[in-house]
Amino acid sequence: MKDRIEKWMRENRQQMINFLQQVVQAPSTQGNEAGAQKLIADKLREMGLEVDVWEPTGDELVKHPYFCSPRTEFTGSPNVVGVWKGIGNGKSLILNGHIDVVPVGDVKQWEDNPFSGKIENGKMYGRGVTDMKGGSIAMLFAIEALQALDIRLKGDVIFQSVVEEESGGCGTLSAVLRGYKADAALIPEPTEMKIFPKQQGSMWFRIRVKGRSAHGGTRYEGVSAIEKAMLVVDAVRRLEQERNNKITDPLYEQIPIPIPINIGMIQGGEWPSSVPDAVELQGRMGVAPEEDMQEAKKMMEEALSLINDDWLKEHPPQLEWFGAQWVPGTVDRDHALMNHLICAYREVFEKEPIIEASPWGTDGGLLAKVGDTPSVVFGPGVTSMAHYPNEYIELDRVLECAQIIALTMTQWCEIALS
């Protein structure tokens, strides 16, 4: 089986590369996903799948407790799902990828047009090629290979190309609410071929710290919000340490800070010679795979309330959760999908895979928590290139990943004997 899949993929490699290039050249940043989604939907139709295209909408979605997006209106930002029906009596599998890509950032840092899809030395370049169009096209190619080899599966395969992963996952949430659930899911985010049975969740926070203004020459008459913000940063660091000291999961053995709390932004004060009366911090709190997000929020609240400072006791820092969040997720190390994936990996690479916990969130948390669909993350992209200028993917990895996914499907969904 492995050899037949490999042979077909080798022979049809260029066709896959061409399609990946086309999809990369469609710049599907937030609000601009329609072009790339049309390419995907057309392809799915060509492959004979049952195709469902819809724009997320409705109260059930935007009032859902796990809804998280800077927008509530998704016209022009469709989800695409294609179902490859099995003949029955098999386990179903969701193959989930997101079509949205993060902004290109400072264009001057790119050596080429960020949406060039240029190929050089076995690498394809472009925003989103690693995160995660390469992974999505690997999944499509896996289905194509099985179809071309006349293989039928018992279980359904549900291919999903969703919007909004980069801003909190409401594309996947909408798919779950539309009824798409399965016995398990595979998400080829850029893990660099590592297998992640556990995914860290994360939430964004904002902390406002108050001071009292005064002239800089009589600064003792004021209270510096910058100095008070330093106490807050200290408290957040202590909380991070406490939380991470409790992590004993062997999957995190190699990770210096399994669930970091990152303070990403600080801003305060209005004039060099005035005492600053307000500072705002913004950051991201990591949530452990098995942890409840509400519990994590409470820990942060408590840490802030315990800061030993008279001024801050009287003027407590204002904590707010805003912007994006990613629900954590976990499947058992011995889950059958894990076993199939590990076996397929061994077959293709003839070595043991690296199994870790992801340092970032994916839509797998939502699939598990809301959709009851345990999710494993495994994909071909280069982890360090996600969100970075000159993002690229190694095309050999896309092929290898497609092989492994195809083999995994034959095991999980089972081949129907004809």
Which residues in this chain contact a second copy in the complex, by CB under 8 A? 200, 202, 204-205, 215-220, 224, 226-227, 229-230, 233, 237, 255-257, 260, 262-276, 279, 282-284, 286, 323-324, 358-361, 386-387
Judge whether 100 counts as a catalytic residue: yes
Q: What angle do CA 165, 323, 190 make, to 5 degrees?
A: 30
Scanning the structure block, which residue is given the tokens 């009366």? Answer: 277
Interatomic CA distance for residues 308 and 159, integer angstroms = 52
Count of beta carbons in the 10 Å neighbourhood of residue 215: 12
Output the smallest distance, CB 400 to a second copy, in A: 24
Q: What angle do CA 264, 197, 256 make, to 5 degrees?
A: 45
Judge whether 347 counts as a catalytic residue: no
Output the smallest distance, CB 246 to a second copy, in A: 17
**117 or 168: CB nearest a second copy:** 168
Largest CA distance in the chain: 88
**44 or 239: CB nearest a second copy:** 239
How do 79-84 and 50-54 pair as beta strands?
Answer: antiparallel
Interatomic CA distance for residues 172 and 163, integer angstroms = 7
Interatomic CA distance for residues 210 and 222, integer angstroms = 11
In terms of C-beta distances under 8 Å and separation of at least 24 residues, what long-range contacts does 304-307 make, across chains too?
304/207, 304/232, 304/235, 306/235, 307/231, 307/232, 307/235
Sign of the torsion formed by the C-alpha atoms of 95, 99, 100 and 101: positive
Q: By C-alpha distance, which of 222, 225, 213, 223 is closest to 317?
A: 225
Q: Which residues of 151-173 are buried (b: 16+ CB within 10 A; e: fewer)?
A: bbbbbbbbbbbbbbbbbbbbbbb
Output the smallest distance, CB 413 to a second copy, in A: 32
Structure tokens belonging to residue 5: 């899949």
**141 or 205: CB nearest a second copy:** 205
Output the smallest distance, CB 384 to a second copy, in A: 8
**160 or 202: CB nearest a second copy:** 202
H/E run at residue 185? strand 184-187
Output the smallest distance, CB 140 to a second copy, in A: 27
**78 or 329: CB nearest a second copy:** 329
Output the smallest distance, CB 192 to a second copy, in A: 13
**257 or 415: CB nearest a second copy:** 257
Catalytic one of 6, 33, 100, 363: 100
Catalytic one of 52, 144, 165, 240: 165
Scanning the structure block, which residue is given the tokens 């954590």? Answer: 328
Structure tokens belonging to residue 127: 């925003």
Secondary structure class of 231 (helix, strand, coil): helix
**123 or 284: CB nearest a second copy:** 284
Output the smallest distance, CB 208 to a second copy, in A: 14
**Residues labelled catalytic:** 100, 165
